[in-house]
Amino acid sequence: MGKIILASSSPRRRDLLKKANLKFEIIPSPYIEDHTKTEFSYEFIESLAVNKALAVVPLADNPALIIGADTVVVLNNKILGKPKDREDAFNTLKNLSGKTHKVVTGIAVINTETNAIKQAASTSHVTFEKLSDEQINFYLENFKPMDKAGSYGIQEMPNGYIKSYTGSLDNIIGLDVELLLKMLGK
């Protein structure tokens, strides 16, 4: 089977894999994502995960299982990426306020010994409370939204911001570990 390699520098994905008691190494993917595409499709998000994993294949010792992942926040079938700046983060959270959106993570696992590629996606739904400008500014000043799709991390949201969610919480954080373990055959 070989070692498991996470093709990501995301601290949230690293923590989720540690919590699942997986032994793994990290090799951040050099793949450059296409941020111009705003229309959501499962094919697109899964292809990002595959491309991230493929970019690590030449950097890994054989045999290995390489995990690539990409998480997006989707509102009205439009991808809300990581914010460009504070104003963009404010506008994104204002847009999510009082609404339900999807969080989708594409996952790819490449077996470098067989060249087999497994890919899948996990979808969760998050409903925000109606947020005031003061709440949004408080979040932006006290937390770190700039490296997160949709400008927020559910794991750090104060009480009164999230009304509800359905689906995998791990997926919303950045990686559906249950789905990944199935893909790994564990």
Q: Which residues are catalytic?
A: 70
Q: Cα(54)–Cα(64) distance, rounded to whole angstroms?
A: 12
Residues 74/101, Cβ–Cβ less than 8 Å:
yes
Q: What is the three-class DSSP state of 183?
A: helix
Q: What are residue 110's DSSP bridge partners?
A: 66, 117
User: DSSP character for 20?
Assistant: T
171: enclosing H helix or E strand: helix 169-173
Integer Cα distance of 144 and 166 in angstroms: 24
For residue 124, give Cα distances in angstroms to 30, 86, 104, 106. 27, 26, 7, 12
CA 136 vs CA 14, 130, 149, 158: distances in Å: 27, 10, 16, 11
